Structure 1
Amino acid sequence: MACLENPSALLPPCLFPRKKTLVPTSESGDDHEKLLPPDYQEILKRSGSQVNSWTKKEIYRNLCDGILIDGDRKFFSLEKSTGKKCCLLSARELEIIWENDNRYWDWIPSTESRFKEVVHLKEVWWMDITAAIPSRMLSPETNYVACLVVNFDRGAYGLDREPWEIKVSYRGKILSQSRQNIACNVKEGVDPRVALQIKRLHFLHRIKMLPNPPSEPDIKYPCRRDGSQWLEIELGEFTTEGDDGEVVINVKETSNYNRKTGITIEGVEFRPQHGHTH
């Protein structure tokens, strides 16, 4: 049986800003002002934090740790080394098909999330999720990656039977489209990378029998976030060109009416492509 020679080389970076209490530091330093984004004061106002007495260094350090904004529906932070903007949209900020129908989805409180609640899939046959963010919430002329932040139940079912279709758009123009298989339900002790390799071999065997075989989907491996129960699935990359326009990420699997259950969604994160270090 074929196997992956170096599966770890295919994993996306597992870099995750840790949740910390906003505590002013005793040091000051105006050098940090040049790393602050031009709209940092507006962002602070959207957090409701009491920051009038903070120095520029205190503001920068607390923004690097991250703050909740817009009614606690977004988690905004800065990349420490560059001052580039990062933003995690909560599940409430996403468009999820049938999200408010409790036959299909449950909104549940979470102590493991940055947000007060996350959404858990009970059962659907169609999966369709859209994340949209104004590009002014991100740094201009910067390469970004978008990641879906999730967790899978032990009994997750149907989410890996067909490839997910992922589309990245910016200013109304489609930048990329891909089909990705995701490992979400493997037996105890089985490496999910090996499980997906087996699934790939099965796929290749099946399409040999078809007169017009479909293209093989990309294989992406969910990656455990550092110190967290959450996994991240890399959705796509893009480059911002300015502070106007909107970035839209759509994830769906509607090609086959198979039952899907057992995923919990925290949100979608946008961060500089080269990593988000703290």
Structure 2
Amino acid sequence: MCDQGSEAKSKLGAKVTYGHCIDVICKSSDVQLQWPSFDDLYHQVSSGIFLNNGTKKYILDKNTNSNWYFLYARGFSIDWIQDPRYWRWINITESGQTYEVAECIQVSWFDIRVKVSATFFTPRIVYDVIWKIQLTNNASGWELPVNIELMRPNGCKIEHKQSLQSVKRGDWLEISGGDFLVDNCGCENGGEIELHMYEHGGHWKRGFLLKGVEFRPHGSDCA
């Protein structure tokens, strides 16, 4: 039987859980956590905490009692990101939160990828992978669809093509990256999920913003 989280009792005496592998996850928290008080910690993690120097956000989703994640662009491997002719980092503030976004100035070789440990995800919960991107008002070169790949923890790869040619400019878009299920019960070594978005057509593309990727449990209302 899988251990779904560290158990504790609230002030009302009810047995509840913090979330799957919360003790391992919170080792990389950017803020001081309210151990060992259950009520304070539960409020803290269900409101959301940042991990790994702001590259990840974790929420214990109350609706599904499972782990929700958002991985920001700084956590991705982006080809040519170090060359200011092709990419740059910009700060964006939304709802009082400031974060870094990767902006594509111009590239012919468009390639973004990331790996995430499967131990971060609650077992036996289906997760939707949602890319958060934007095309600016002056975006061009997206006539060919981008390729989107997901490597599941079991090694199965799913892929599809996504057209960006006619999407609305200037707004954040949610692009499906597929879904996956984690069966592993452990908190130390459960394999990896790999994501990849690319277009290697050789023509110039510009005006693309990457905010990051959301790992959303089915039934969650986190955003």
TM-score by structure 1 length?
0.67
Code of the aligned partner of 1:119: A
Q: Which residue of 2 aligns with 1:64?
A: 46
Q: Distance in 2 between matches of 1:56 and 1:158?
A: 51
Code of the aligned partner of 2:140: Y
* Pair 1:259-2:201 in alignment: no
Code of the aligned partner of 2:183: E
Larger CA Rg, structure 1 vs 2: 1
Q: Distance in 2 between matches of 1:103 and 1:263?
A: 14
CA 53–144 in structure 1, closer or farther in 2 if over 3 Å, else same: closer
Residue 53 of structure 1 and its aligned partner are, at CA, apart by: 6.2
* Pair 1:99-2:81 in alignment: yes
Number of aligned residue pairs: 209
Q: Which of the pair is proportionally richer in helix?
A: 1
Q: Distance in 2 between matches of 1:152 and 1:270?
A: 21
Give the SS at the match of 1:173. coil
* Matching residue within 157, 162, 179 for 1:180: 162
1:147-186 to 2 correspondence within 5 Å? 147-159=130-142, 161-171=143-153, 173-183=155-165
Q: Which of the pair is proportionally richer in strand?
A: 2
1:220-239 to 2 correspondence within 5 Å? 230-239=172-181
Any conservation in 1 of the 2:31–2:50 contact (CA below 8 Å)? no
Percent of counterpart pairs with the same letter? Answer: 26
Q: Which residue of 2 aligns with 1:194?
A: none
Computed over aligned residues only, the root mean square deviation of the Cα atoms, in angstroms, reads: 2.6
* Pair 1:77-2:59 in alignment: yes
Any conservation in 2 of the 1:107–1:120 contact (CA below 8 Å)? yes
Residue 38 of structure 1 and its aligned partner are, at CA, apart by: 4.3
Q: Which residue of 1 aligns with 2:92?
A: 110
Any conservation in 2 of the 1:47–1:68 contact (CA below 8 Å)? yes
* Matching residue within 119, 127, 131 for 1:144: 127
Name stretches of at least 5 consecutive residues in structure 2 with no aligned partner.
1-9
Name stretches of at least 5 consecutive residues in structure 1 with no aligned partner.
1-26, 188-223
TM-score by structure 2 length?
0.82
Per-residue CA distance 1:154-189 (angstroms, 9 max, x = gap) = 111122x112111111236233121121255558xx
Q: Which residue of 2 aligns with 1:124?
A: 107
Q: Distance in 1 between matches of 2:41 and 2:12?
A: 10
Residue 34 of structure 1 and its aligned partner are, at CA, apart by: 2.6
Judge which range, 256-265 or 171-180, deviates more.
Answer: 171-180
Write out the 4+ residue segments of structure 1 that deviate beyond 6 Å after TM superposition. none
Any conservation in 1 of the 2:145–2:165 contact (CA below 8 Å)? no
Q: Which has the higher contact order (CA 8 A, sep 6+)?
A: 1
Q: Distance in 2 between matches of 1:35 and 1:88?
A: 21
Per-residue CA distance 1:225-246 (angstroms, 9 max, x = gap) = xxxx632211111111214000
